[in-house]
Structure 1
Amino acid sequence: MLESDQIYLRRFQVGDAPILLKWGKNNYYHKSAGFEQYQNLEQAQKGAKQYAMRPNSYVICLKKNKQVIGLVELYERGMDKQSGLLKTKEIGFLLDKNFAGHGYMTQALLVIFDYAFKKLRQTELWAGTFADNIHSQKFLSKLGFKYVYTVDYRQISHLFSYKEKYYLLQKEDWLKINENTRS
């Protein structure tokens, strides 16, 4: 199990659909994190099944009462061995706004970083944020991510209406940060 002092990560279950529906009906999560919009429980159940099929998708739970408070995922960036992308992942995360400011997301990401770098042997973790999501950008910087580039998706297709900033955390940087925080 992936865990810290106050939280643990577990795989998604179909029974997580009600919390996905709660987040999916709230435009806050769609605007800040691009979270899927769900209109009813049936849509949320389909979403929960999709999350459950992904190998590195987890709900964040409080240890004290097992309440689901967020999610964290590691996405494949590519499957071509020659590109080197098998050694990298992109991270996605969402925290229920009722639980912000308690350090839960920091704990969840530290746990998933350890898992990604040590168990999955990844060399890089990437994270993308909407260009106007300053809070997430500061959070990523605090965790050791470095800004690399911005993509204006509006120039790629008329279906998109946003810019996204991409940040990188390399394994050697994480190991240095992790070593300094433990000593």
Structure 2
Amino acid sequence: MIITTNQLLIRAFQSNDTEAVYQIGSNPELTQPLNMTAFQSDAEAQRFLQMLQTDPDAWALTLKTTQEVCGIVMLAPNLAADQVSVAGYELSFALLPAFQKHGLMSTALPAIMQHYQQTQAVTVFNAACFLDNRDSQKLLLKLGFQADYQTQLPAYLGGQTVQYFRYLII
């Protein structure tokens, strides 16, 4: 499955995406907001890429013009009370620094959310941002997310306070 926007092809990860995954995963500016430890080796990047390849909710953002991977969007399902149905998804996303501030994520996230709404009838999307991650907060508000609540992460996840945002498709 490929989702397209004016600038992007949003697709599943492929085995030849190792370099881009390494660039994203070894950059502390990108991994810290994702609450990940930066990769220390190519082997870590390769293991992460293998995980991304098996995850139907992990998307590579690639430029239409060059096919270059410039970012990542991952969705984690939130189960409904029946513990089977998906009630919504939590979004995580990152763009390589050279591709930030070009409106790519502003078009990628709505396209992905529309895809999930049309194919799975999902109407709830959540995202958490560290309080100092103003760029992501600004993006989410621009896209129509509403600030929902703040919570402190457990110590094993760093213990920082995050702001949760929620988007409801009506």
Say yes or no: TM over 0.5. Answer: yes
1:132-156 Cα shifts (integer Å, max 9, x gaps): 1111111100000001111112xx4
1:31-78 Cα shifts (integer Å, max 9, x gaps): 333344111111100000001111111100000110100011221123
The answer to whether structure 1 residue 106 and structure 2 residue 106 are counterparts is: yes
1:97-156 Cα shifts (integer Å, max 9, x gaps): 101121111111121011111212102001111121111111100000001111112xx4
Equivalent residue, structure 2, for 1:60: 61
Cα distance in 2 between the residues matched to 1:36 and 1:13: 22
CA RMSD of aligned residues (A): 1.8
Cα distance in 2 between the residues matched to 1:123 and 1:112: 12
Residues 157 and 85 of structure 1: is their aligned pair in 2 closer, same or farther, counting only changes over 3 Å?
A: farther
1:145-169 Cα shifts (integer Å, max 9, x gaps): 001111112xx43662311111000
Equivalent residue, structure 1, for 2:143: 143
1:1-49 Cα shifts (integer Å, max 9, x gaps): 2001110111012322211212222211123333441111111000000
Contact 2:24–2:71 (Cα < 8 Å) also in 1: no
1:122-161 equivalences under 5 Å are 122-153=122-153, 156-157=154-155, 160-161=158-159
SS at 2:24 equivalent: helix
1:27-106 equivalences under 5 Å are 27-78=28-79, 80-82=80-82, 86-106=86-106
Look at both structures and tell me which one has the larger radius of gyration over its CA atoms: 1
SS at 2:40 equivalent: coil
1:3-18 equivalences under 5 Å are 3-18=4-19
TM-score (norm 1): 0.85
Q: Which runs of 4+ in 1 moved over 4 A?
A: none
Unaligned runs of 5+ in 2: none
Cα distance in 1 between the residues matched to 2:156 and 2:61: 35
Cα distance in 2 between the residues matched to 1:64 and 1:36: 31
Cα distance in 2 between the residues matched to 1:127 and 1:29: 15
Equivalent residue, structure 2, for 1:115: 115
Contact 2:124–2:168 (Cα < 8 Å) also in 1: yes
Unaligned runs of 5+ in 1: 173-183
